[in-house]
Amino acid sequence: MSRAVRRTAAGAAAAFAALALAAPPASAHTSLTGAKPAANATIAPPTQIVLTYADPVQLPQVVLTDAKGGRHEAGKAQAVDNKVTEAVKGTLPNGVYTVGWRVVSPDGHPISGTYTFTVTGSTGAGAGAAGGAPAASAPAAKASGNGSGGSSGWLWIGLAAAVVALAGGGFAWYRRGSGASPNE
């Protein structure tokens, strides 16, 4: 093989390695794009929680808790395409509530997150029982990263190691061939 071909191959391997390491990792995980009630909102008592994701999801779980840990969801969450709906049990008393959710992305990885909202103006039994503290600062209706699956990070580390090994092999091949006579 000629010296020019070896140099071209080594250069291509190095360019591929540089591009692969510089490119941001693509993730097939979906994300929460909207929620009703919204994160940190102050609202009248809702009758349901509606979560909207970037992609269709499956196996939804939604937990609605008050400040004392009491649960307020009615039945199982329902997923239709990219929307998950959870009915609220009864009329929520005034207070701060936490929505915890978990779904499975189209790539098979579970994602989860939490956010809070505040209920005011309730006439429901036990108004004020859930505490009237202001809503805690929480991320705006996005996946918190809790339980998002750890295999994705290892996949990218393994891919980066393979690219580095490929680049190193190309460089070694180039160096080995550089001692050959120019007539090859």
Q: What angle is formed at CA 182 by the lines to CA 180 and CA 184, rounded to 5 degrees?
A: 75
Pick the CATH number of 32-147 from 3.40.50.10780, 2.60.40.1220, 3.40.50.12160, 1.20.120.1200: 2.60.40.1220
For the chain, 184 residues long, give each residue's pLDDT as a single digit of tens: 667 666 666 666 665 555 555 544 445 688 999 999 999 999 999 999 999 999 999 999 999 999 999 999 999 999 999 999 999 999 999 999 999 999 999 889 999 999 999 999 888 665 444 443 333 333 344 434 444 444 444 555 555 566 666 666 766 666 776 665 555 5
Which of 183, 175, 164 is closest to 6 using CA atoms? Answer: 175
C-alpha gyration radius of the chain: 26
The verdict on pTM exceeding 0.75 is no
Stated as kind and residue range, the H or E segment containing 169 is helix 151-177
